[in-house]
Amino acid sequence: MVASTGPTAIFHRSFTKNYDTAVGGKGVYIIGPDGRKTLDGSSGAAVSCLGHGHPVIIEAIVQQARTMAYAHSSFFTSSPAEELAHLLCSLSNGAFTKLLVLSSGSEAVESAIKIARQYHFARGDKQRVNYISREFSYHGNSIGALSAGHHPQRREAFVPLLSSAFHHVSPCFFSRDGREGEVEEAYVERLVAEYEAMFEKLGSDTVAAVMVEPVSGATLGGVPAAAGYLRRLRQLCDKHGSLLIFDEVMCGMGRIGTLHAWQSLGGVAPDIETIGKGLGAGYQPISGVLVSGKIEEAFRQGQSKTPFLSGHTYQDHSIACAAALATQRTIRDKDLLTNVRVMGNRLEERLKATVPMLKEVRGLGLFRAVEFKTTSTSPLAADVATACLTNGAAVYLCSSAVDAVLFAPPYIISEQEIDDLVDIFVESVKQILEARG
């Protein structure tokens, strides 16, 4: 018999690091075995938007588990799945008519890629096999999603396995990449020209979709699309008959102060949108793909020949849908997006006023990154994130493409908790700078 190795048998993210056990959670805090509280300054990875131990979500999960935990989606639907889809579509001002429910953001991205392909297939446009996405984007860890994304560390070992159907153009990062004297509009036109060149190179009738994060998250840290960028992408896609996909797994579901990030960024809706993380606030693993009436129509027309060639065992999971439904209703009924905007502004002001070695505070709502003024040989962010955890706050470390950490606290955060978070962060930065002399 194999001896039990206890908790160490978990295939942890790192084999060299010791992980504290989270034994509880209340509000914005995660509680350790000794009762020590850690302020969840990034909601994990922008997930726990209602904080921890929320009684309404717990009750919804328990109720649904008692009623009906799981019935396979090939045979049955469930009330929470139907109600969740109805709620999200009705809150989208007509942008979306259907919701596909899955379990992770990566699965949602994989499905978005396949839906786009099948949309064209159903219309007889079978040559549309290419996708345009962006350098330094992150769309998930499965092979298709990793192919679409461009996270340097996460891709490196897998490059030979990745799909050659994905073609990357520059990210939209005006504060960094805008040229001396260049206005935002001209910068956007420069990026549009790059897209046009890519369409031309690939053959514009071979492009199935363009996929972007409206606010870059994990790789570049809280970089919102420049003014007019999403609108120009919409025009570009319409001109070339390609679909537009927004990956809002991280920046969506209220994180920047509107339910969909694109609503804060010019109001231009995509054809397909991926959502996850804040959808179920971390109480259950759940993600989704929202599609427009145009996509629905193509699937209906082509349905007899091509049903959606996909399907996952836990698709439309009743308990996950019940958790997400309760989460989204709570956000709406308690008007938590107002708090996201107000607390987000406070977070930005406090960070700008107090952080040493600051290059930039960027982002919107409760999705803000701090980038340090450092050289690539002595980055600060990783050490600061570790020090923060020791000092009682968790913040999210961005990719090595930037020396930055991301703040994405729960939407329920109070003024005092914002101040505590910033104080711990600033103290941690000072400690690291002092230790380095």
Cβ neighbours of 372 (radius 10 Å): 21
Q: How far is the CB of 217 from ligand PLP (least distance, A)?
A: 5
| 45 lies in the binding site for ligand PLP (CB under 6 A) | yes
| 110 lies in the binding site for ligand PLP (CB under 6 A) | no
Closer of 276 and 410 to ligand PLP (Cβ): 276
Closer of 257 and 276 to ligand PLP (Cβ): 276
Closer of 144 and 344 to ligand PLP (Cβ): 144
d(CA 373, CA 108) in angstroms, rounded, equals 35
- Both tokens of residue 207? 């492009």
The CB-based long-range contact list for 171-175 (8 Å cut-off, 24+ gap) reads 171/134, 171/135, 171/136, 171/137, 171/216, 171/220, 171/223, 172/134, 172/212, 172/216, 172/223, 172/225, 172/226, 172/229, 173/216, 173/220, 173/223, 174/226, 175/223, 175/360, 175/362
Using CB under 6 A, which of 39, 49, 57, 109 touches ligand PLP? 109
Using CB under 6 A, which of 40, 247, 271, 417 touches ligand PLP? 247
| 213 lies in the binding site for ligand PLP (CB under 6 A) | yes
Closer of 43 and 428 to ligand PLP (Cβ): 43
Closer of 221 and 392 to ligand PLP (Cβ): 221
Closer of 51 and 144 to ligand PLP (Cβ): 144
Name the residue number minimizing CB distance to ligand PLP.
105
| Strand 243-247 to 272-275 pairing | parallel
Q: How far is the CB of 138 from ligand PLP (least distance, A)?
A: 5
Q: How far is the CB of 308 from ligand PLP (least distance, A)?
A: 20
Binding segment (CB under 6 A) for ligand PLP, from list 35-43, 100-108, 229-237, 422-430: 100-108
x/- map, 269-298, ligand PLP, by CB under 6 A: -------x----------------------
Which residues sit at the interface with ligand PLP, rule CB under 6 A? Answer: 45, 104-106, 109, 138-141, 213, 217-218, 247, 249-250, 276
